[in-house]
Structure 1
Amino acid sequence: MHVLITGADGFVGAALVRRLLQGPPTGAGQGGVVQGGAGQGDIRLTLVDRHFRQGPPGARHRHYTGSFADPALLQHLSDDPPQQVFHLASMPGALAEREPEAGIQANLLATVQLLEHLAGLTRQGRQGRTSPPRVVLASSVAVYGALGPEPVTEQQLPQPELSYGAHKWMSELLLADFSRRGELDGCSLRLPGIVARPATESGHGSAFMSQIFHALREGRPYECPVSPEASAWWMSLACCLDNLLHAASLSASTMPASRCWQLPVLCLPVASVIEATAQHLGRPAAALIQHRPDSRIEALFGRQPPLLTPLAEAAGFVHDGSVQGLVARVLAAM
């Protein structure tokens, strides 16, 4: 199986590559073991990113440095069409707000080019098979914008307040339309804050969700830009990978018309995550974490209400189960 991964050197992408090369996952969140389709059997990887910290993982796998809409990459995909695509590449939301031209190019226009090219291969009958490629798009809860106190359901109307969220929503719609036409077999996942991202990543408005883990693990002070009572949607990197792989193997017959899933999450106060992490590490949380709330960051990322996802859970998507499970999986991966 030929698998294309964009953003393959990023936080999620690099971990996905490692998981695929290791074979089937050995654990999951509250739903137990998840058998990811791309993790089964013999695979060849085409990995795309702006840069790579390491060389190719093997002779059978290819690296492309640059945009996922580069002509050289698209020609390679024409010559050797992928059966599965994990489209993970994006410019973080806060950075995309500061650099709007680069943001729309990375998060929307290049995505349009990639999806149109893959759909075109299906139209031309060059896939060499009877079904279009499964495309798993990493979307975001940023599509919702600021939320009120009422629980959010899977029918929540997107009202993005950042360009990043608008671009993700438009990409979801495009992938759903290509899927309706039978040219792609798409599945968009609205991801929450995935923790713990590298401490050097600062382009995410939700960076505080990861920074508290790094600060407590390293025993250094950190000024958190949201209040202790702020609530956020949390997911470990390991759980995110479980859900991506599950999406790759999910039957098309189970997909909603939108081809989009809101993933189950843990909705937790920041204080409870800090306390659970401090207890796990034996650190004095109060001495290390000080709160200096930023009203805009808290409005967008720290006032997230309960999220109800019965359809996604019935389809096999999972969360981390508990705050202790979240903390244990995050720290184990750091």
Structure 2
Amino acid sequence: YSLFKNLMSGKSKESLDIFNELYSSGADPGVIIQDLLDVVHWLTRVHVTPEVVNEPGVSEIDKNMGMELAKELNTAELSKTWQILLKGYQEVQNHDMPNVIAEMVLIRLIYASDLPTAEELVKDLLKKNHDSKIDNDESKEEKGSDSDNTIKEQYHKTEKVPSKGINTDTVIEMKNVDNLLKDPNSKVQENNIKIEKKDENIVLSSFKDVANFFLKKKEILLFNHLFSHVRLVHFQKGKIELNPTEDLPKDFGSKIGTMLSEWTNQRWIVSFSKTKGEISLEEQNERDKKETVKKMMQNKRVKEILKVFPEATIEAIKEEGDKDE
């Protein structure tokens, strides 16, 4: 019990002195570890069922030390000690220098006694999370108060501005500030009110207009699909029916419809059909190019040039004012 008490108290020098004294007197290191395991087992029984100390055959020292140490140690500490000693006992049995291994096991146990138990770690973690949540809530309240004050200042400033010369954007901003003051649940980010505007004056009167609008919005991949990989079956405002010529992404139709609806503030539905429909926009472009080249070949000046350069061909046709690439 003396060795065990010193180990549990974290007294390394006293513990190792007792162990070396026992070892020098002929005690087997494995037996010493085994005796410590018996002590832990006894204390655990006393801790769980205190009446066990009154059973017949229990010595007076086991009874007194059992009751004393069981009060000082909880079940978690006893369980941790049991695991360290049990693993150490197996190491001692399988090593050529059992005394060295036994010393290392005892040192491990001494320093483990200063470590918090799993229960203490959980409690500490929960406490930190709780404190952190309180700090965050207080921080949010302070930020919310600062935001309200800023909004009120902006509102009072806008009230002092004379009505003459106020543009539409300023009026919209003042109305939004007023709405925010009336609604305490409104959130203000970075003390700025951002107003999103839909694209105005959008006229999509043909499928080609739709494809070009995606190009304008820099949705290059979707434009490429619209331009080269689908044929138009039916088009009307708010509804497009297509015949795919190649495999398209599964969400292609819904994505096109959603984007058009957001950009135009009008619902658009895109569906697919097995009907062949018109040729693709790319094919139309090639056809129109060939027809234009054919007409150009009939031009008087072009004919004169071709007489001088008979092997010349028309590679591209540009509108007046187009920049060279």
Larger Rg computed on CA atoms: 2
What TM-score does the superposition give when structure 1 sets the normalisation length? 0.21
What TM-score does the superposition give when structure 2 sets the normalisation length? 0.22
Q: Which has the higher strand share?
A: 1
